[in-house]
Structure 1
Amino acid sequence: MTSVPPVRLFVDGKEVANGTKVSSESAIVWEIDEKPLFEISVSEDKLEAYLTVNRTQRFAWTLKDHPRALHVALRAEEDPSIILETLSLQDILSALEQMNIKMNLDVAAIQTEILRPSRRKVKIAKGKPPVQGQDAQLELFFSETIENVFTEVKGVVDYRNHLNIPTVKRGDVIAQKTPPVEGQAGYDVFGNVLLPRPVKDILIAGKNQHVEITPDFRVIAKKAGRPRVTGNKIKYFDVNTSFVVPGNVDLETGNIVFSGDVIVYGDVMDNMIIESLGNIYVAGSVFNSTLTATGSIAVQGNVIGSNLYSGYFGVLYNRFYNHSKQLIDILEKIVESEKLLRNEISKKNMQVRYGQVMLLIIESKYQQLWGIVKELLGVIASLQSHNSDKENFQQIKAYLELFLQPANLVQTITAPKLEDFMRILREAFMRVALSQESHVQISISQSQNSTLKSNGDILIKKEGIIQCELYSAGNIIFFLDNSVCRGSKLEAGNTISAMHVGGITGVGTSLKAGKKVIVKKMYEGRVIVDRYSLDIFEPVEDKTFDRNNFV
């Protein structure tokens, strides 16, 4: 026995799909599988409800007679004379109420569909989508990157004119913030409130002496210099002054530590240090020296045996940042140890000076403090005379010198004075940390035996590099078709684009990138992209290595 749809056949409690044998003892039940008179559906976002009227009446079904046979197929037909159910407006409204659909019901559309069914989904209720707000916007009216820092006229660098360094005058608008616009809540067909995505604001602040922020969020320069913005969650605006060295940086000038841009129109000679809380521009070459900048670094000439650190690395390798952090950590431990030791002394009813306890702790546990103090004093001694933070550093210097005079330390240091010193030191430390600029780069012509690290791009404008180590959180780009990259280790968070990599003989070169490595010609070396690695033994030309093309 089988059945013909819409008849469903059940024999002994089990539904029969493909036919089965029956006997006089079999329990046979049948039913009709038909769609309901109407169906209500809701969109995935719950903003719209739909009605589908399948039919307006439901009739009784009767089985068709079938003559005696070995194989019987049950068939049924409707009996129009027996009306079991008639669709009404109230039926649909009741169903909507049970489903809690109540917003903006279109009763007229429901009634029309009952009278003239279209057999299609008809919208009968709708919600209101939330209106999304607008995030705050920050428009900068100055460039954050170095572009052609020194102008060449007939092949000669124009030292007198460095207008390509972004500069502003007093009263110039350097940025404009557009405040966020809050969105408007909506609701779905059930009446549930739909909230818009929270808007993001941008917090801005400025160094009071250098910039003004107006009530309508314009950032205005209060002095001439190079505008800059630092910070992530809070954008700090400042106008940098420049320290200009008309000739070479050498033993005569001494090391340079400056809380602004440093411009050198000559060379940086052997074993010198330039530390800038801004950008460093060098018209000549750099020999066996260290340059750290919380902004960008541009060198017009050659870089030999040197270390160049910009942006995040300019902060990380800044001597004041490092030594002050070490000193703050030690002083915090000394304060805790002093409390414990003084507590033990008080139990014995003994009177001891604060300085005596402190000196005892230093001599017994933290003798490295004196070395750090001397290093910091050396850094402060390199500060340029018109440095804007000179007064604060003079206070730090006075306290540091006290640590090198144990007798005076015992007599003069107190808990409030130590706390004051630590406060001043923390503030100076944070000024360095917050000086890291957002869009930085290192731009050079050529380099040998050097280390370059930047949390932005590294650009090699001319001959190339030999036996160098380069790290960039962004891209490493070689510009000239004949630029070389030999015996070096390069790592970039994004892309490396090189020209002639390696040589017939020599130390192997490694190119590691997060997304892509492009080479014009590579003689030998290793290429790493993401987690894929390939050793090159035979020359390859005009090759791009990425995650999808690594052979």
Structure 2
Amino acid sequence: MTPFKLVHANSLQEAIKIGAETLGVEKNQIWYRVINRRKSFFGKETLTVFVSVMKEQKEDKKRRKIVLKNLSFKRTSKKLYIPSSSDRSGMAWIRNGQVYCQNGKSHFPALHPCEGVEILLNGVVVKNEVTIITEDDTVELRTIQEEVKGRFSLEPSPDKMEVYVQVQPGYTITKKVCNALPSRLVKIEVKEEKFFKPLDEDEIYQELAAQFHAQAIPEQIQQACASTEPKAFVIARGKPVIPGRDGYFAPVRDFQYDTEKQNDEKDFVNHLTVREGDIIGYVKPPVPGQNGYDVFGDIIETSEPNPLQVYTRDGVLYLIEKGIVVAKRSGRVLIKSYSPNNMVFQVVPVYLYEGNVNSSMGSILFDGDVSIKGNVEENTLIKASGCIYITGSVTNSKILAGEDIIIKGAAHSASITSGWVPEWLNESLPIGKETHEMMGHKISAIKQLTSNPAFLKSDLAKKGFQPLLKLLLEMKFNEFPSLVQKLKLKITPFANKEWNNIITILDQTFLQQHMLSSIEQLQEIAYKLKNCLDEMEQELFKSTLIFVERTDQCELDSTGHIVIKDRIFQSTIRSKISVQAGMIEASDITAGEKITAVQAGSSTDTKTVLNIEKGEGVIVAEHIWKNTTIKVGGNVEKLHQSVKRAFVHRDVESENITIERNRMG
């Protein structure tokens, strides 16, 4: 008896039953494997099942394995089928692009067409919705390939400095007929593959040379040609202008920070100290730039660089031919700039005292920096036009500095002011501005007069420019000489070299009426006066720093920043820009733009006021106690509860004070 058999049945139970009866064993002794499942045209399912006896002899088991191995069946994504002639009667199938079919007893198989595939029946293309085929027919499936040619376009960037290529890549779509299982009606299906065709680099180079005069970028052209998606690439550029370099100053050594200073001080204070005869640095000449061109080859000219204008104050010598700035005395180098291409050099003298300073020594009044290595004791006045450095504490004293004030210790009952300027400076600026404005009107009047056709320029050539100027002073600008006299009296006792020079010129021209030959000379005088006024204005509104360890019952006033490292207690603090502190208690703090603190106010309800003068200013604190008064841009609010991680500002729309919690910014 054969120990195994192929059974065709309508269900698995039926196949097992037939197998058991055929092999002469019980159903529970049957081992089976479903080989194929297939539904008929009317939906009826037929199974092909391999059945064998579960307990079999070794040789029978070996024969079963060989039979299973030799069974010719093909796996597809859907099912298994056996290529026996009885199974494929009246069916067609596709393998490797070739159509196979077998006539049925009562019907013929058919093919359902697919887009992109032509059916050739006996050499003739058929376009029927369903094509009946027989074993005698020659059937060929021919796929239709789709090809799209790549294209590109070139265009310049808006500034005409780059060329863009916009690519539309070309491609070929190939179609491959999929295998199909034996079926009465075979639906042809295809698998598509898209192959991109790179653009021709030579075509892009040729088009680039024909339209533009630009430097190609080979790597970008390669990427553009190999692109598999529509995209723009920069493939060429013009030559950009290489700007020249203005004249500049190169110091001999870097500005040195005091290594003992805190980080907060380093943001504001640095200084270079020199001795008499030291070279401060070199004035480098301007370096010309190079012209460029755009992608069309049009020249783009570079602007001429400007030389550095050097002005010297006390303690500095400028060797123009060698371009060297030299110190004429020992002190701190002060470098200022009042316009983009000028620098003013000065060596500020330094008064150094080692030890404690007290009232028995008298006041210290010094035109320069003051450095005290010790404490400043009660009833002492220290006044300096430059910076003041104190390594110890300050008690019940007055400290005035034209620039920064650094106090390493504490301040008790002290008055400390940075950015102090002499009274004559405040009084002279408005007089100087009025003088310059009137000179401008006078120049405009002369230009208007000389442009009139009735004006005889021959008279100007014969008699000179001075009679015309005198006539204008007498008839229209009769207040001008007295204005010049007032400016002279205010400034002369304190004037530096530049101011002495301009005052002398104004005196000779408008008070002594020395000859002027042209309007250009008058314009030059106005230009020099304007430079001196700009320098004076910057001196009046300069930003300075006060740094103190802590304050107790003090009054501080700065034109820039105030930094209190530890605590402010029962003090009045005013700063034009910012105040930074650890703790603020029982104090009145005013800043122009920002107040920063770890803690403000106290749990004992002491009066603390935080005032920001500008509406766009902010207050930032880790903790603000209740009953602290907040002012921002004129708006006032008293806190009724404490706030942690506070960010206080004025709302743009409502203009009310807004207090954000748990935010530090």
TM-score (norm 1): 0.53
Q: 1:129 to 1:342 in 2, by over 3 A?
A: closer
Provide, for residues 366-409 of structure 1, a one-character-per-residue CA deviation record: whole Å limited to 9, x for no partner. Answer: xxx89x97xx79x97xx9xxxx979x99xx9xxxxxxxxxxxxx
DSSP 3-state at the match of 2:564: strand
Equivalent position of 2:106 in the other structure: none
DSSP 3-state at the match of 1:323: helix
Q: 1:340 to 1:43 in 2, by over 3 A?
A: closer
Q: 1:544 to 1:105 in 2, by over 3 A?
A: closer
Q: What does 1:362-373 align with in structure 2 at a 5 Å threshold? A: none
Q: Which moved more, 1:260-269 or 1:222-231?
A: 260-269
Q: What is the identity, as a one-letter code, of the residue corresponding to 2:623?
A: K
| Whole-Å separation in 1 of the counterparts to 2:622 and 2:589 | 17
* Mapped pair 1:460 → 2:564: yes
Return the offset for 1:485: 4.0
Q: Which of 488, 494, 500 is 2:599 aligned to?
A: 500
Q: What does 1:157-176 align with in structure 2 at a 5 Å threshold? A: 167-175=273-281
Contact 1:103 1:125 in 2 (8 A): no
Equivalent position of 1:127 in the other structure: 237
Q: 1:102 to 1:301 in 2, by over 3 A?
A: closer
Q: What is the identity, as a one-letter code, of the residue corresponding to 2:625?
A: Y
Return the offset for 1:229: 1.2
* Mapped pair 1:550 → 2:660: yes
**Cα root mean square deviation, aligned:** 6.4
| Whole-Å separation in 2 of the counterparts to 1:92 and 1:134 | 35
Equivalent position of 2:449 in the other structure: none
Q: 1:172 to 1:143 in 2, by over 3 A?
A: same
Return the offset for 1:468: 0.9
Q: 1:468 to 1:529 in 2, by over 3 A?
A: same
* Mapped pair 1:537 → 2:537: no
| Whole-Å separation in 1 of the counterparts to 2:154 and 2:376 | 77
Equivalent position of 2:574 in the other structure: 470
* Mapped pair 1:296 → 2:407: no
| Whole-Å separation in 2 of the counterparts to 1:323 and 1:308 | 20
Q: What does 1:142-221 align with in structure 2 at a 5 Å threshold? A: 143=255, 148=260, 167-175=273-281, 181-194=287-300, 203-207=309-313, 209-212=315-318, 219-221=325-327
Q: What is the identity, as a one-letter code, of the residue corresponding to 2:154?
A: S
Q: 1:429 to 1:177 in 2, by over 3 A?
A: closer
| Whole-Å separation in 2 of the counterparts to 1:329 and 1:491 | 29
Q: What is the identity, as a one-letter code, of the residue corresponding to 1:308?
A: T
Q: Which of 620, 623, 641 is 1:521 aligned to?
A: 623
Q: What is the identity, as a one-letter code, of the residue corresponding to 2:400?
A: L
| Whole-Å separation in 2 of the counterparts to 1:47 and 1:331 | 52
Q: What does 1:91-490 align with in structure 2 at a 5 Å threshold? A: 100-103=211-214, 126-130=236-240, 132-133=242-243, 141=253, 143=255, 148=260, 167-175=273-281, 181-194=287-300, 203-207=309-313, 209-212=315-318, 219-233=325-339, 234-243=342-351, 253=362, 256=365, 258-263=366-371, 267=376, 274-276=383-385, 278-282=386-390, 285=394, 287=396, 289=398, 291-293=400-402, 295-299=403-407, 300-302=409-411, 304=413, 306=415, 308-310=417-419, 314=420, 317-325=421-429, 343=474, 415-416=511-512, 440-445=544-549, 446-455=551-560, 457-473=561-577, 475-478=578-581, 483-490=583-590
Return the offset for 1:268: 8.1
| Whole-Å separation in 2 of the counterparts to 1:498 and 1:187 | 55
Contact 1:231 1:436 in 2 (8 A): no
| Whole-Å separation in 2 of the counterparts to 1:333 and 1:119 | 66
Return the offset for 1:222: 3.3
Provide, for residues 423-454 of structure 1, a one-character-per-residue CA deviation record: whole Å limited to 9, x for no partner. Answer: 99999988765667987421223153524123
Q: Highest CA radius of gyration, 1 or 2?
A: 2
Identity %: 15
| Whole-Å separation in 2 of the counterparts to 1:418 and 1:292 | 41
Q: What is the identity, as a one-letter code, of the residue corresponding to 2:298?
A: N
Contact 1:142 1:227 in 2 (8 A): no
| Whole-Å separation in 2 of the counterparts to 1:425 and 1:194 | 37
Equivalent position of 2:51 in the other structure: none
Return the offset for 1:135: 5.1
Provide, for residues 491-528 of structure 1, a one-character-per-residue CA deviation record: whole Å limited to 9, x for no partner. Answer: 154x5332331233233311538676442432143557
Q: What does 1:42-121 align with in structure 2 at a 5 Å threshold? A: 42=155, 44=157, 46-50=161-165, 52=167, 100-103=211-214
DSSP 3-state at the match of 2:383: strand
Contact 1:48 1:126 in 2 (8 A): yes
DSSP 3-state at the match of 1:167: strand
| Whole-Å separation in 1 of the counterparts to 2:227 and 2:643 | 71
Provide, for residues 51-95 of structure 1, a one-character-per-residue CA deviation record: whole Å limited to 9, x for no partner. Answer: 747779xxxxxxxxxxxxxxxxxxxxxxxxxxxxxxx99999998
Contact 1:130 1:196 in 2 (8 A): no
Return the offset for 1:308: 0.7
Contact 1:289 1:307 in 2 (8 A): yes
Q: 1:149 to 1:220 in 2, by over 3 A?
A: farther
Provide, for residues 194-214 of structure 1, a one-character-per-residue CA deviation record: whole Å limited to 9, x for no partner. Answer: 566987875444337424457
Q: Which of 606, 610, 618 is 1:510 aligned to?
A: 610
Contact 1:450 1:469 in 2 (8 A): yes
Structure 1 unaligned blocks of 5 or more: 1-33, 57-87, 151-163, 345-353, 363-368, 397-413
Equivalent position of 2:467 in the other structure: none
| Whole-Å separation in 1 of the counterparts to 2:327 and 2:437 | 42
| Whole-Å separation in 2 of the counterparts to 1:342 and 1:206 | 34
| Whole-Å separation in 2 of the counterparts to 1:517 and 1:281 | 29
Return the offset for 1:318: 2.5
| Whole-Å separation in 2 of the counterparts to 1:332 and 1:106 | 56
| Whole-Å separation in 2 of the counterparts to 1:193 and 1:528 | 58
Contact 1:131 1:196 in 2 (8 A): yes
| Whole-Å separation in 1 of the counterparts to 2:513 and 2:634 | 54
Contact 1:496 1:517 in 2 (8 A): yes
Equivalent position of 1:64 in the other structure: none
Equivalent position of 2:134 in the other structure: none
| Whole-Å separation in 2 of the counterparts to 1:531 and 1:288 | 33
Provide, for residues 89-114 of structure 1, a one-character-per-residue CA deviation record: whole Å limited to 9, x for no partner. Answer: 999999879x943446899x99xx99
| Whole-Å separation in 1 of the counterparts to 2:376 and 2:201 | 91
TM-score (norm 2): 0.46
Number of equivalenced pairs:
418
Provide, for residues 124-170 of structure 1, a one-character-per-residue CA deviation record: whole Å limited to 9, x for no partner. Answer: 973334154475665654547777589xxxxxxxxxxxxx9853223
DSSP 3-state at the match of 1:460: strand
Specify which structure has the bigger relative contact order, considering alpha-carbon pairs within 8 angstroms and separated by 6 or more residues.
Answer: 1
Q: What is the identity, as a one-letter code, of the residue corresponding to 1:501?
A: A
Q: 1:303 to 1:331 in 2, by over 3 A?
A: farther
Q: 1:539 to 1:182 in 2, by over 3 A?
A: farther
| Whole-Å separation in 1 of the counterparts to 2:397 and 2:167 | 82
| Whole-Å separation in 2 of the counterparts to 1:36 and 1:523 | 75
Q: What is the identity, as a one-letter code, of the residue corresponding to 2:598?
A: M
Contact 1:303 1:450 in 2 (8 A): no
